[in-house]
Amino acid sequence: MNLNQADLKSIFKKKILSKRINNICINSKEAKKNSIFIAIKGKRTDGHLYANEALKKGCNIAIVKKNFKVKKKYKNKIHKVYSTLNFLIKIAKYQRTKSSGIFIGITGSFGKTTLKFMLSFFLSKYKKTFSSPRSFNNHFGLPLSLSNTPRNSKYNIFEIGMSNKGEINKLSKILKPNISVITNIGPAHLQNLKSLQNICLAKAEIMNHMKANEVIFLNANDEYFNTLKNLAENKNLKIITFGYSKKCNVQLVKIKKEINKLYLFIKIFKTTYKIETNTINKNFIDNFLITCAISSHLGLNLTKIIKYAKKFPTPSGRGNIVIKKFNNKKIKIIDESYNANPVSMRNAIENFSYSKTKKIKKIAIIGDMLELGSHSKFYHEQLAGIIKKSNIDYVYFVGKEVLNTYRKLRNTEKFRIYEDVQQFKEFFLEIINEKSIFLIKGSNGVGLYKLLDKF
């Protein structure tokens, strides 16, 4: 991004000494010359505690609350407002109006971050592309990312998250996506939203600030497809579908396995393409279908998509394969420690079960699926049936909610349960074996990612 003096005057409604700004930050560690630091109060800390540090590191302007006391030497670099978050949103909206690029908004119950990375990976092969870093998808993450969007970026990709009704509506009002994707509707955030129908309606809020004839991509195989389709039609949006049925605009026709090679046959509107990949993981396929659909809609030649399909790097914590060394042994781990809900958990276990291994034990470390509210016991008990059908050799549970899963399985010796990651760590070091492959899957709050830090 690049704000010149005219931009700054429009935003601040007064002349600012800085000639240009090329970075907006809310973390004082990222403060530097030609940057604006915005002091945001979050759940864990208050950015005002670090405003002086940001100024000391050279940032040009610090945005703070009206009652904030600053050192005298920084007086000329302080801009006081009633709400620092609203000021961040103001900058985001300004940046949005100044960009002529295409803005893509992604929401859904799972797969948002991986899809964002995948779209960014492939679209960047054609034109300058920008995407929000990490999972910046909430009330301050999205406007922060939008504020830093380069004006010369052709494709701009953002994920929009939520935990309550109305949150996606507010964020989509800021983003105003030209293209939107709803990946799926699943049992995530049930604790707050109570039902899948409510989750569906909350995700549909992404359409609220789209113009007529702009495009929404919908999963034709999703249980709530017809509900979303009707809502989109009522808003006069163009609908493009992806999935596994013949009625889809973009359809997975078949998977073909050859010696040391995997192929996807994908029908994109009327043309079927044979595409070599490194995986037939369902999460990858779903996101790849969307990527092909969007790329085709944008009028891109799909030869680059086909060429780079094998080279997509799975984001950390979302099914990427990690090779760690321990006592001169190479340990292979499938890292799905970033998040978990009933659908993504099923997919992870089934993918792990289907994977072919020769004389290597499959060991799954399963953590709680959080934010399921009163439905938690049901979904954790349901998980037991999925595990029973798998060919995983050993399953170790970590957490409190997975006790409901363990109780359905404890008749055999292949299952154990641990209260938390700290309790499990020592046992984990005992079972590490280069003749085993591990799956680590659980909600981020469980902290299973800490196991990887032991190496």
Residues above pLDDT 70, as percent of the chain: 99
- What is the layout of strands, in order, in the sheet containing 78-81? 23-25, 35-38, 61-65, 78-81
For the purposes of burial, counting CB atoms within 10 Å of the CB of 378, is it exposed (0-12), middle (13-18) or buried (19 or more)? Answer: middle
3-state DSSP assignment of residue 2: coil
- Tell me the per-residue pLDDT of 115-129, one tens digit each, with 9 for 90 and over: 999 999 999 999 999
Backbone angles phi, psi at 101, to 5 degrees: -75, 175
- State how far the Cα of 122 lies from the Cα of 313, in Å rounded to an integer: 11
* Residues 6 or more apart in contact with residue 198 via CB below 8 angstroms: 165
- State how far the Cα of 455 lies from the Cα of 442, in Å rounded to an integer: 19
- Tell me the per-residue pLDDT of 410-429, one tens digit each, with 9 for 90 and over: 767 799 999 999 999 888 88
All structural domains of the chain, each given as residue ranges with its CATH number in brackets, are 3-84 (3.40.1390.10), 99-311 (3.40.1190.10), 320-454 (3.90.190.20)
3-state DSSP assignment of residue 412: coil
Report the range of poorest mean pLDDT among 276-280, 300-304, 326-330: 326-330
In this prediction the pTM is 0.89
- State how far the Cα of 140 lies from the Cα of 42, in Å rounded to an integer: 9
- Determine the distance from the C-alpha atom of residue 278 to the mean position of all C-alpha atoms in its chain, rounded to a whole number: 21
- Highest mean pLDDT: which range of 65-79, 296-310, 321-335: 296-310
- The confidence score (pLDDT) of residue 53 equals 92
Half-sphere exposure of 298 (CA within 13 A, CB side): 25
- State how far the Cα of 147 lies from the Cα of 158, in Å rounded to an integer: 12
Contact at 8 Å (CB) between 34 and 57?
A: no
- pLDDT, averaged across the chain: 91
Token pair in block for residue 58: 């050279």
Number of H helices and E strands in the chain, helices first, is 15, 21
Cα separations in angstroms, 384 against 199, 388, 391: 25, 6, 13
Token pair in block for residue 303: 């030869």
Maximum CA extent, the chain: 73
**Among the listed residues 54, 91, 88, the one whose alpha carbon sits nearest the alpha carbon of residue 74:** 54
**Among the listed residues 300, 314, 303, 301, the one whose alpha carbon sits nearest the alpha carbon of residue 155:** 300
**Among the listed residues 100, 187, 188, 80, the one whose alpha carbon sits nearest the alpha carbon of residue 137:** 188
Beta pairing, strands 238-243 & 215-219: parallel
**Among the listed residues 358, 363, 361, 354, the one whose alpha carbon sits nearest the alpha carbon of residue 451:** 363
- State how far the Cα of 274 lies from the Cα of 254, in Å rounded to an integer: 10
DSSP for 78-89, written as a single string: EEEES-HHHHHH
- Tell me the per-residue pLDDT of 227-282, one tens digit each, with 9 for 90 and over: 999 999 999 999 999 999 999 999 999 999 888 889 999 999 999 999 999 888 88
Q: Which helix (H) or strand (E) element contains residue 322?
A: strand 320-326
**Among the listed residues 244, 237, 280, the one whose alpha carbon sits nearest the alpha carbon of residue 262:** 280
- Tell me the per-residue pLDDT of 3-14, one tens digit each, with 9 for 90 and over: 888 888 889 887
Among all chains, which residue has been given the structure tokens 């699926």?
369
- Tell me the per-residue pLDDT of 27-83, one tens digit each, with 9 for 90 and over: 999 999 999 999 998 878 899 999 989 999 989 999 999 888 878 888 888 999 999
Cross-strand pairs, 325: 330
Among all chains, which residue has been given the structure tokens 């396995």?
257
- The confidence score (pLDDT) of residue 17 equals 65
Q: Which helix (H) or strand (E) element contains residue 368?
A: none
* Residues 6 or more apart in contact with residue 235 via CB below 8 angstroms: 207, 208, 210, 212
Residues above pLDDT 90, as percent of the chain: 66
Token pair in block for residue 118: 């995948």
